[in-house]
């Protein structure tokens, strides 16, 4: 079906703030380009598709070269041919700070490979740029940007940008995608879904909290809720380096040495070392007491160049425990940082033991080692010089002055991020009231890796428990909202540990979306799910995962086989 701009406008009837930028049909096999050059790596349409690109104003006016200047929210929609449409809308969330080419009239964004999803499923698939196009780099074909778009040229926070980024983009994406589907096919979609990970996970929670009627089902994995909290606390390990180790970070080899020692100390199930930790809550490994990782000069037995001093080992304990206001850390024997209440000097959670301390999988895949958390601190304190060097603002550019922050100053930034939530358009996305979403019959499904290198899983667990407390208990919440925890899995959905030989079971791409479709359309709620190591793994491990708070309990047999576990 070929649709002209004129016929689309006649049936779509966008509002006065919406402009149709592009309407273009692609035949199967054609290169997915607008003005881009075609090369050997150019993606090609896997089915007949129609691309529609929209710009939803008013955006944020300003100097042409300012990162905060924006014409509005860019939305990209892929529509399968009428004979292939499955009567579903499948909206996809963003990642990082979002951004990209969704609002470009000359370039295709294809964020999260939306065209491929539309072709494979027959769903109407959409993405948006959250109201800005600034890009820092590229994560395997997915745009990645920084936070300078959210600061106006005078160094103050941009309310319009934060509104578009935090919430407005999501509702506009839902409304416009549904309207385009109805205009294109002559009938509305039977079901609508949102599907996101990381930032996209946070977006899913924001939709359930503030726009409960937009989607029938929401898959929101590794959700970046508690945005300013976990981002500010994410800078804490680097402040530990500055304050405790003279600004000298541990080497990758040192980080792997101590993290793998933690795994060996806590990964035994049924007499077998699994290579990843099943129960992080129970792990109390303390490197300051482990002679095998400590240097001989500090009373240890490790003679390699990668040994740790006592000061370095204590710094690792601080990273595992999480952010405190004064840099203190208790003994892991009494408090390992897993589930003790926040409060007092303790501000946020650290990475569980065994998690890669430098996001090894992401680094190996994409060679990215920036400090995006510094951008959040720069925005909280409205001081762009605290940010990374690629943060641009007329009042000052990023100069990495975050390195000068004390523990107390970082804690002040943490508090400031919470106080500024009304300006940030409540980016923390932590309202526990999902009653409207439940009442309209919505379903919410989340998985989160226990070894997430970026977003500590305890924040998601704590949110789930708060929802349960507010909404009548766990059984009441499980009727529409289920959370699954994945041992050994990191933010990329694969091995998140420091052990490159670990083969933790993974959730296949798109699997939770299929579970959601079954839940919404057939009433089949997910229960015990058996997952296994990724294809090609050196060792095949299969394990069950259960809706929280259930855990997989070893009952006997091969600990690498799912049948050896029951629910506890």
Report the pLDDT value the prediction gives residue 141, as an integer from 0 to 100.
38
Enumerate residues 6+ apart whose C-beta is below 8 A from 60.
Answer: 68, 69, 70, 131, 152, 158, 160, 161, 164
Give the residue-averaged pLDDT of 306-322.
98
DSSP-derived letter for residue 168 is I
Please tell me the pTM assigned to this model: 0.95
Supply 498's token pair.
């420091």
* 39 shares a domain with 101: yes
Percent of the chain with pLDDT over 90: 86
DSSP-derived letter for residue 292 is T
Strands (E), 115-269: 124-128, 137-139, 142-144, 191-197, 217-221, 268-269
Asked if pLDDT for residue 367 goes beyond 60, the answer is: no
Instruction: Report the chain's mean pLDDT, rounded to a whole number.
Output: 93
Written in H, E and C, the secondary structure of 350-390 is CCCCCECCCCHHHHHHHCCCCCHHHHHHHHHCCCHHHCCCC
Report the pLDDT value the prediction gives residue 134, as an integer from 0 to 100.
67
Supply 221's token pair.
């994995």
Q: Does residue 407 form part of some domain?
A: yes
Report the pLDDT value the prediction gives residue 166, as an integer from 0 to 100.
98
Q: Does residue 483 form part of some domain?
A: yes
Report the pLDDT value the prediction gives residue 9, as an integer from 0 to 100.
65
pLDDT digits (tens, 9 = 90+) for 228-285: 999 999 999 999 999 999 999 999 999 999 999 999 999 999 999 999 999 999 999 9
Confidence grade of residue 206 (pLDDT, cut at 50, 70, 90): very high
Confidence grade of residue 386 (pLDDT, cut at 50, 70, 90): very high
Report the pLDDT value the prediction gives residue 365, as an integer from 0 to 100.
45
pLDDT digits (tens, 9 = 90+) for 368-377: 444 679 999 9
Supply 335's token pair.
């408090």
Residue at a domain's end among 181, 211, 246: 181
> What sign does the dihedral 182-185-191-192 (CA atoms) show?
negative
Short-list 102, 104, 109, 106, CA closest to 34: 106
| CA 286 – CA 266 distance, rounded (Å) | 11
Instruction: Point out the least confidently predicted range of 8-12, 131-135, 545-549.
Output: 8-12
Enumerate residues 6+ apart whose C-beta is below 8 A from 227.
Answer: 202, 376, 424, 427, 428, 429
**Domain, as residue range, for 291:** 231-419
* 369 shares a domain with 470: no
- Other C-beta atoms within 10 Å of 371: how many? 16
* 164 shares a domain with 76: yes
Report the pLDDT value the prediction gives residue 366, as an integer from 0 to 100.
41
| CA 323 – CA 346 distance, rounded (Å) | 6
Asked if pLDDT for residue 361 goes beyond 70, the answer is: no
How far CA 523 is from CA of 479, 512, 515, 516, in Å, comes to 11, 15, 10, 10
Q: Does residue 348 form part of some domain?
A: yes
Q: Does residue 225 form part of some domain?
A: no
Short-list 417, 97, 96, CA closest to 226: 417
Residue at a domain's end among 142, 159, 181: 181
Report the pLDDT value the prediction gives residue 492, as an integer from 0 to 100.
84
- Whether the CB-CB separation of 151 and 376 falls below 8 Å is answered with no
Instruction: Point out the least confidently predicted range of 152-156, 296-300, 331-335, 340-344.
Output: 340-344
Asked if pLDDT for residue 363 goes beyond 70, the answer is: no
Give the residue-averaged pLDDT of 312-324.
97
- Whether the CB-CB separation of 219 and 445 falls below 8 Å is answered with yes
Give the residue-averaged pLDDT of 283-312.
98
pLDDT digits (tens, 9 = 90+) for 479-527: 999 999 999 999 989 999 999 999 999 999 999 999 999 999 999 999 9
Confidence grade of residue 360 (pLDDT, cut at 50, 70, 90): low
pLDDT digits (tens, 9 = 90+) for 140-191: 333 447 899 999 999 999 999 999 999 999 999 999 999 999 999 999 999 9
What is the tally of structural domains in the chain?
3
Report the pLDDT value the prediction gives residue 219, as an integer from 0 to 100.
98
- Whether the CB-CB separation of 235 and 402 falls below 8 Å is answered with yes
Angle between helices 227-234 and 372-380 (to 10 degrees): 120
| CA 406 – CA 242 distance, rounded (Å) | 9
Confidence grade of residue 96 (pLDDT, cut at 50, 70, 90): confident
Q: Does residue 188 form part of some domain?
A: no
pLDDT digits (tens, 9 = 90+) for 44-70: 999 999 999 999 999 999 999 999 999
Burial 196-213 (b: 16+ CB within 10 A, else e): bbbbbbbbbbbbbbbbbe
- Whether the CB-CB separation of 416 and 380 falls below 8 Å is answered with yes
Supply 464's token pair.
């789930």
Burial 495-509 (b: 16+ CB within 10 A, else e): bbbbbeebbbbbbee
Residue at a domain's end among 120, 147, 181: 181
* 524 shares a domain with 394: no
Q: Does residue 187 form part of some domain?
A: no
Supply 5's token pair.
């701009």
* 403 shares a domain with 442: no
Q: Does residue 58 form part of some domain?
A: yes
* 473 shares a domain with 375: no
Give the residue-averaged pLDDT of 339-347.
86
Report the pLDDT value the prediction gives residue 369, as an integer from 0 to 100.
46
* 541 shares a domain with 479: yes
| CA 503 – CA 367 distance, rounded (Å) | 22
Q: Across-strand partners of 144?
A: 137
* 365 shares a domain with 308: yes
* 439 shares a domain with 367: no
* 441 shares a domain with 374: no
* 466 shares a domain with 413: no
How far CA 33 is from CA of 24, 38, 557, in Å, comes to 10, 7, 54
* 452 shares a domain with 372: no
Q: Does residue 192 form part of some domain?
A: no
pLDDT digits (tens, 9 = 90+) for 114-143: 999 999 999 999 999 999 986 544 333 334
| CA 243 – CA 238 distance, rounded (Å) | 9
Distance of CA 340 to the CA centre of its chain: 24
């Amino acid at each position: 079906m070929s649709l002209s701009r004129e016929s689309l406008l006649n049936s779509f009837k966008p509002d006065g703030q919406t402009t149709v930028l592009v309407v273009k049909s692609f035949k199967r096999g054609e290169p997915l380009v607008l003005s881009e050059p075609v090369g050997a790596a150019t993606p090609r349409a896997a089915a007949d598709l129609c691309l529609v690109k929209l710009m939803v104003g008013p955006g944020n006016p300003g100097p042409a070269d300012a990162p905060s200047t924006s014409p509005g929210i860019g939305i990209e929609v892929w529509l399968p041919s009428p004979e292939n449409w499955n009567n579903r809308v499948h909206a996809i969330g963003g990642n990082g700070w979002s951004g990209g080419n969704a609002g470009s009239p000359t370039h295709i964004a294809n964020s999260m490979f939306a065209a491929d999803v539309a072709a494979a499923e027959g769903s109407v698939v959409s993405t948006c740029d959250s109201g800005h196009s600034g890009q820092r780099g590229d994560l395997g074909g997915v745009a990645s940007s920084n936070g300078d778009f959210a600061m106006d040229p005078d160094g103050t926070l941009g309310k319009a940008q934060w509104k578009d980024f935090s919430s407005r983009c999501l509702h506009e994406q839902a409304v416009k995608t549904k309207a385009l589907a109805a205009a294109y096919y002559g009938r509305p979609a039977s079901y609508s879904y949102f599907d996101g990970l990381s930032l996209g996970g946070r977006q899913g929670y924001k939709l359930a909290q503030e726009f409960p009627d937009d989607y029938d089902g929401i898959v929101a994995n590794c959700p970046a809720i508690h945005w300013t909290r976990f981002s500010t606390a994410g800078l804490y390990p680097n402040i530990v380096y500055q304050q405790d180790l003279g600004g000298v970070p541990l080497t990758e080899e040192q980080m792997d040495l101590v993290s793998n020692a933690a795994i060996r100390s806590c990964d035994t199930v049924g007499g077998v070392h699994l290579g990843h930790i099943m129960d992080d809550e129970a792990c109390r490994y303390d490197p300051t007491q482990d002679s095998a990782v400590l240097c001989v000069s500090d009373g240890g037995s490790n003679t390699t160049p990668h040994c740790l001093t006592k000061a370095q080992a204590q710094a690792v304990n601080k990273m595992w425990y999480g952010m405190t206001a004064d840099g203190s850390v208790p003994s892991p024997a009494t408090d390992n940082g897993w589930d003790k209440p926040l409060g007092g000097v303790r501000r946020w959670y650290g990475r569980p033991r065994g998690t890669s301390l430098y996001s090894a999988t992401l680094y190996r895949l994409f060679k990215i080692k920036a400090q995006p958390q510094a951008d959040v601190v720069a925005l909280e304190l409205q001081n762009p010089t605290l940010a990374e060097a690629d943060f641009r603002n007329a009042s000052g550019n990023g100069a990495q002055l975050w390195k000068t922050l004390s523990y107390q100053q970082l804690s002040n930034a943490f508090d400031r991020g919470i106080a500024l939530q009304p300006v940030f358009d409540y980016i923390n996305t932590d309202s526990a009231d999902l009653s409207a979403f439940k009442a309209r019959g919505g379903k919410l499904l989340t998985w989160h890796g226990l070894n997430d290198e970026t977003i500590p899983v305890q924040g998601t667990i704590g949110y789930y428990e708060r929802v349960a407390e507010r909404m009548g208990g766990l059984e009441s919440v499980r009727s529409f909202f289920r959370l699954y925890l994945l041992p050994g899995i990191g933010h990329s959905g694969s091995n998140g540990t420091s052990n490159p030989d670990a083969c933790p079971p993974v959730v296949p791409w798109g699997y939770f979306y299929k579970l959601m479709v079954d839940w919404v359309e057939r009433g089949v709620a997910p229960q015990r799910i058996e997952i296994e190591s990724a294809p090609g793994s050196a060792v095949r491990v299969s394990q069950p995962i259960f809706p929280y708070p259930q855990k997989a309990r070893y009952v006997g047999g091969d600990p690498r086989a799912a049948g050896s576990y029951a629910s506890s």
